[in-house]
Chains A and B, each alone.
Chain A
Amino acid sequence: MDRSNSPYKRSLRVFARDWKNLASLGFVLLLVALALFSRFVVTCDPDHQNINKITQSPNLQHYFGTDSLGRDLYSRVIYGSRISMLVAFITAAAGLILGSLYGTVAALGGKQIDTALMRLLDFAYCLPTLLLLILLNMLFGQGLVGIVAAISLEGMCTVARLVRGQVLQLKQMDFVLASLALGSSRSSLFCRHLLPNLIPPLIVTLTFLIPSNIMYEAFLSFIGLGIQPPYSSWGTLANEGWRGMLSHPHLILFPGTAIFVTMLAFHFLGDGIRVAFDPQSER
């Protein structure tokens, strides 16, 4: 078999062809690095309040200026990326794992289990996303744990439907029937045959899940349900910033730009990956 024609190699080739994909991948990697090593990138302690330097405009000492309590906004935005990234990745991973299990159990568990699980999901699905998030957040309490739990469960709903559909489709395929006929157990069927075929759509979902989770975290923190002070995410920074929009525009500008650019990069990346995994994409 010619290795260069393996589906993953082919996808990689398609992905690398577009500069936008590479740029967004680079940017996302940079963001992850910033979040991981934020301690070394910041110029001062993001929680340190200096009341003699309240709401300064951007300058050489404070690149993004200072906020209403005299804290360095640049350091806060960098530190904010930690919370935003942490929440986004944990919730995306949790949503993915829970959703895959949920969807597979529904698809393979027999008709009654399928109906019960899917109706439950439908119920959650027909609530507007933001309302569902707020309800879940109320259930789990404010703060980091509550926000992670709420967004994970929200992500689970999306993934579970997708996985169930995929598994139902795969279940009818000849290679699955063959494996069943040869007497393989359910777990080995799942691990050896179904999972490898689920990975491409799941990767695509993941890249869309992450930006939407960043957005949800920002949203919840923005309306005051998320992270509590002194911790800050981009959402809480934006919340503090909009109040002073007329007098001190830099307070909303920088966190807002951070959210915007990050979302954009993840969307390009997600789109690139989707195209790359699409068998139709290479003529």
Chain B
Amino acid sequence: MQKWSYCALCLLVFCACTRTPKLQKNTLRFPIPSEPPTLDWSLSNDHVSQQIIYQLQEGLTTHDNKFNVRGALAHRWEISKDGKTVTFHLRDAKWSDGVSVRAADFVFSWQRLLNPKHAAEYAYFLYDIENALEYNTAKLQNPDAVGVKALDDKTLQVKLKNPVAFFPHITTHPITFPQRQDIVEAHPKDFTEAKHLRTTGPFILSQWTHDSKLVLEPNPQYYGDKPTLDRVELLVIKEDSTALSLYETGHLDVALRIPPLDFDRVSKWPDYRSVPYLRGYYYGFNITLKPFDNIWVRKAFAHATDRKEIVKVIKGQKIPSISWVPRGMPGHEPDIGLTYDPDTARSCLSKGGYPSGKNFPSVTLMYDTLEMNKMVAENLQFQWKTVLGIQNIDLQPQEWKVYLDTLTRNPPQIFRMGWGGDFPDPHNFLDLFLSNSGNNNTRWKNKRYDDLILAGSVSRNQSERMSKYREAQKLLLQQEAVIIPLFQETFEMVIKPYVENFVIDELEYPHFKTTRIRLTDKTHP
């Protein structure tokens, strides 16, 4: 009897020992920080979702490495002389079930995006199209009045209200990707599930276990070069530190965010890389709530914020910034914004009616539960306490999905947010704070700002455009201090040496299509 117990015990111990998992042939294991809120590209408004959609689906156009626009599902396009009509000619591409891609798929998708019933946050992306704004705000009932038409199966004509210079950039964005009317209407609730989803990109979604993992496999119908990977596993791992330990134990091939606490150790490894990208990290005020309806209070907070200290705390090579449009983009104005200046901050607060922070009401500051966000929040809480004497700032973390919802419905007095570039034009960062932008959580509405951005977007003279944008940035950051930009982000990441050609571009899209796995190597650094 005793012998058997020993055997059982040994078996137990044996099973309990973890081994480095065997490297699966040609599979890339990649972490995502949360369950993607949706894979319906028309309704998606966050980067986790769009990073995945980018692998599955393509649009009319796409970017090359230098951010020039080139054709994707459209192999060429023409812009009329007045700049108001764009005609796209589609290539012979197929959906993953073999059905041909038609111009009508785009018309359906864009009309659906603009349909006021769906209240898509990104609908404003298409507002430069004729009647798009009117239809989206229910002033017009007929979707066919919107300026997008299928001239035939392979020709799509877009009529613009304003001759915006960057329209072919907009059509690179997931929000504009085509949709299959038959699929969406047959499964209105769950057409994004693996069993229903049809896509045209290099990969198909072969499995989606909610809150756990998504599996991508090459799309046999893809018109371009086939991916070399046989399988991509996207694993939902909420904690960066968990992702790093999974990377260290060989359960992940890439970890995109090294937690600040592990940075000193990990940054010495040969697999460490720091890649900057077009994402600004900012704190916004809900300017309809006291005390931030007062410009002086907002200015005081902005002047009391030392970005260099924040970047030091969270480690890595992030770029501290007082301005909003990130480095690497035209329209980047590093000097526009409110600099760290404790004395000015205190005098602003006095002008706002709270000398030395006396009688300052209790304020709620919200952020989403990532380790880095928590550290930034705690550091800011301390900075504002030290400089302004404000004691009662309550920190409230929320889970990402809930957080997005809170910001849309009922934004708190101060909130953390980031904005990643959708296309490399300053318009993309500045139209966020337009009065009618679905992503403007500050509730700030400013006619002059709206006019400046519009003037900038339709002007065909680059220097005139930039001067409009410069003025708009001054208004947003200096005169009104609606947001406090903190820094531009970098991916502080580690990649296994056997993963080759892995690129994550400045718009944060990983390019799985070109990634290779070299199989002869050992699995651990």
Contact = CB atoms under 8 A, between A and B. Distances in A.
Interface of A: 47-49, 51, 54-55, 68-70, 142-143, 224, 228-230, 242-244, 246-248, 251
Given A224-B369, A251-B261, A244 B241 contact: yes
Main secondary structure, interface of A, reads loop
Given A243-B239, A243-B371, A68 B395 contact: no
Nearest to B306: A51
Given A55-B261, A229-B378, 13 more contacts: A49-B378, A49-B382, A51-B309, A69-B313, A224-B369, A229-B377, A230-B378, A230-B382, A243-B259, A243-B261, A246-B248, A247-B266, A248-B261
Given A69-B313, A224-B397, A229-B395, A244 B377 contact: no
Nearest to B397: A224
B375 interface: yes
A51 B395 contact: no
Nearest to B393: A230
Nearest to B310: A51
23 contacts: A48-B382, A49-B378, A51-B379, A55-B264, A68-B260, A68-B261, A69-B313, A69-B378, A143-B394, A224-B397, A228-B395, A229-B374, A229-B377, A229-B381, A230-B381, A243-B261, A244-B241, A244-B262, A246-B248, A246-B265, A247-B265, A248-B261, A251-B261
B187 interface: no
B20 interface: no
Contacts of B259: 243-244
B408 interface: no
A224 B396 CA distance: 10
A68 B396 contact: no
Contacts, number: 61
**4 closest Cβ pairs, A-B complex:** A244-B261, A243-B241, A247-B265, A247-B262
A169 to B, nearest CB: 43
B268 to A, nearest CB: 11
Contacts of B260: 68
B378 A246 contact: no
Contacts of A251: 261
B391 to A, nearest CB: 10
A224 B398 CA distance: 10
B408 to A, nearest CB: 21
Contacts of B396: 142, 228
A228 to B, nearest CB: 5
Nearest to A48: B382
A244 B374 CA distance: 14
A253 to B, nearest CB: 14
Nearest to B369: A224
A136 B239 CA distance: 25
Contact of A228 (B241, B369, B375, B394): B394
A143 B371 CA distance: 19
B404 to A, nearest CB: 18
Contacts of A68: 260-261, 313, 375
Nearest to A143: B394
B401 interface: no
Contacts of A243: 239, 241, 259, 261, 371
B382 A69 contact: yes
B363 to A, nearest CB: 13
A251 B262 CA distance: 12
A246 B242 CA distance: 11
Interface in B199-248: 239, 241, 245, 248
A229 B395 CA distance: 7
B518 interface: no
